[in-house]
Each structure stands twice: as structure tokens, then as C-alpha cells.
Amino acid sequence: MPRKSVPAKRLARLLCVVSLFGALQAWAGATPELDVGDQSGLIQALLHASRQDQGLAYRLDWHPFTAGTALMEALNAAAIDIGVVGNAPPVFAQAGGFEVRVVAAAEGAQNNNALLVQPGSTIRQLADLKGKRLAVAKGTSGHYLLLAALAEAGLEPSEVSIVYASPVDAQNAFASGKLDGWAVWSPFVGQATARGAQTLLDGSRWAETGLNFTVASLAALNDPEKAALLGDFIQRLARAQAWATANPEPWAAHLAQVTRLPLPLVKDMLARQHVQYVPVDARVIALQQRLADRFAQARLIPRPLQVAEAFDDRFNTLLPQQP
């Protein structure tokens, strides 16, 4: 079962006094703060566009990261309190014994992952991948998609040539024709298909590829006052995502401005997904278990995991009701 460090009722009471606590701290000259890890500024942009960064009783101290693995390492060191990552980093963090827990989940972005092949490629079905040179970033949602696709085709990873490369390096190699295929996610998918790449398959068959997780340090979770701030922040994240999903046009415009990606590309990326926060429950945990089992089978982690041990569901009751 997911771990709980603070009973939900107690957390709710603490959350109710966050404003009072913040006012008292401000009066005393020490405004409470939450250290937030953010990849490419996306969470900060989401909160700002949805106006969920307004009326805070505490300060948000933003810390930029270029990858989920580095963000998880910062959480483990208690250098930050909370952040958002894809589905794969929590598996590797748990395998490494990190002092981090998954505290909220969002789903609906599985179509943003795809296995691409070259323009005019003779690869028409998964079985045609045998012996081909395929790139992927190791330990990512794209890696999981590639492993799942190979398994569906009855192929072992050893029957293809897997090249581990960052998305940027793989993008250059794919564009120069040095790769037969590339497993990656948006916006790289849209950039490649705009240049003629073909989508062999996307992640729609595997709901687990569309999960992303809000993760928090155990140090923050074990601090009752800090945990109350985490609860408020998670509520704001969920409301912000609901706004973005319901208002794709203004969100696309803001996201394009922040990322400097072409607006049509951002619109296409958002059209492929329907992201919403969902409770951390047995269904979500079972989806994540598939991911961990696949990585263990491929010997990408040293041992099988029980991923439920890395989840904390105390904030479920704070999520806004789905329509």
C-alpha cells in the first residue's frame, strides 16, 4: 500500500491554517517557502498562465533542471521540496533507494510518445525493426515505449541495435540518416514529422507511457508544516492543469512564448493529449508497476521493485473533483 506519513485529516486541518501560518511567519519576518524543481520552466509557466500562482501565503523558490534524473537527485538531497517528472525517473530513483515519494499523478499524454522511422522507410510493421539501428534516451518513457513495442513484435532488445542518446543528439543523427528509428516524445515528435519522419506507432496502446508524477522529498513530507504547503501546491497544480486542458488556445500561446517553439507545433502537441490529475490509487500504481517490471526484465534496474512503496496518497482528497 502507498505510504502515509501524516494522516489525511490532520493534513486537511494543517492546510486550512496555511494562510494563517503564512501571515504569522510574514509578521515575524520569515515567510514560509517551497523549493520547487522545474524542467524547462514548464510548471512555472503553467501556474502563471492559469493564475494559480496568485494569492499564495508562501513563497515559491524555483530551481531549473534540464532532466528528471537531476531533479530526483536534488529531491533525494532535500535541496528542493517538490517537482514534476515523467514516468521513468521515479522507477530509477526507487531502485537507487532515494528518499523521494510520488505524491500526485496526471495521465493522458501517452500519444506524445512515438516510435519514428525515416521518410520513405521500408519499415512498415514492428517485426521490420529486426536488425535496425534505433535511438532512445536511456531510462525514459521513450525507452519504455521501445521495449514494449519490441516485446509486442516478439523481438528481444538484442535483436536490434539500440543507440542510447539524448533527444538533441538523436535528433541530429536521425536527421542525417544515421538511424533507422527513434523513440522519443513531443515536441521532438512534431519537429521530426514536420520534416517528413513517419510514425510507426505511438504510445496509445500503453496508458502508462502517458503518466507524469509530482514527487516530493521525504524531508518535506515528514515536516507537518511543509506538508501542508505541498498540499496547497498540488491543489494549484491540478487546477492549473484542468485550466490548460479546457483552454488549449491561450495555453498554447503562452507555452509557445516560454519554450520559443513554433505555435503550430505546440498546438499539435497539445491536441495529442488530454492531461488531468487523477488520484494515486491501485490503478495508477498498477500502470507504473508495468513500467518497473519492463525495466527490470531488461536489466536496466538492479532488482524488481514493488512500486507501491514509493507512492504516498495522502493528498488524494485535496484534488478537485473531475467533471
Is the distance from CB of 90 to CB of 284 less than 8 angstroms?
A: no
221 and 231 part of one domain: yes
Give the amino acid at 77. Answer: A
Q: Report which of 213, 221, 217 is spatially closest to residue 81, judged by C-alpha positions.
A: 217
Query: What local confidence, expressed as pLDDT, does residue 8 receive?
Result: 56
Q: What is the CATH number of the domain that holds 122?
A: 3.40.190.10
Query: What local confidence, expressed as pLDDT, does residue 27 receive?
Result: 44
Query: What local confidence, expressed as pLDDT, does residue 13 receive?
Result: 57
26 and 162 part of one domain: no
Asked which of 204, 224, 253 is the last residue of a domain, the reply is 204
172 and 298 part of one domain: no
142 and 290 part of one domain: no
Query: What local confidence, expressed as pLDDT, does residue 14 receive?
Result: 53
Query: What local confidence, expressed as pLDDT, does residue 75 receive?
Result: 96
Domain of 169?
110-204
Residue 3 belongs to some domain of the structure? no
What whole-number distance in Å separates Cα of residue 210 and Cα of residue 274? Answer: 10
Q: From the CA atom positions of the chain, what is the Rg in Å? A: 20
Residue tagged 501517452 (cell numbers):
110
**Cβ atoms within 10 Å of 78's Cβ, excluding its own:** 14
Residue 261 belongs to some domain of the structure? yes
Asked which of 204, 220, 254 is the last residue of a domain, the reply is 204
Across the chain, which has 323 residues, the per-10-residue mean pLDDT values are: 54 53 51 91 92 94 86 95 92 95 92 91 95 92 92 93 92 95 88 89 86 95 95 96 94 89 87 91 96 93 95 93 62
Over residues 137-169, the pLDDT tens digits come to: 888 888 999 999 999 999 999 999 999 998 889
Query: What local confidence, expressed as pLDDT, does residue 7 receive?
Result: 58
271 and 240 part of one domain: yes
Asked which of 204, 230, 246 is the last residue of a domain, the reply is 204
Structural domain total, the chain: 2
What whole-number distance in Å separates Cα of residue 318 and Cα of residue 282? Answer: 18
19 and 104 part of one domain: yes
- The cell for 88 is 521513468
Determine the straight-line distance between the first and last CA of the chain, rounded to whole angstroms.
27
Query: What local confidence, expressed as pLDDT, does residue 175 receive?
Result: 94
Query: What local confidence, expressed as pLDDT, does residue 24 receive?
Result: 45
- The cell for 134 is 534505433
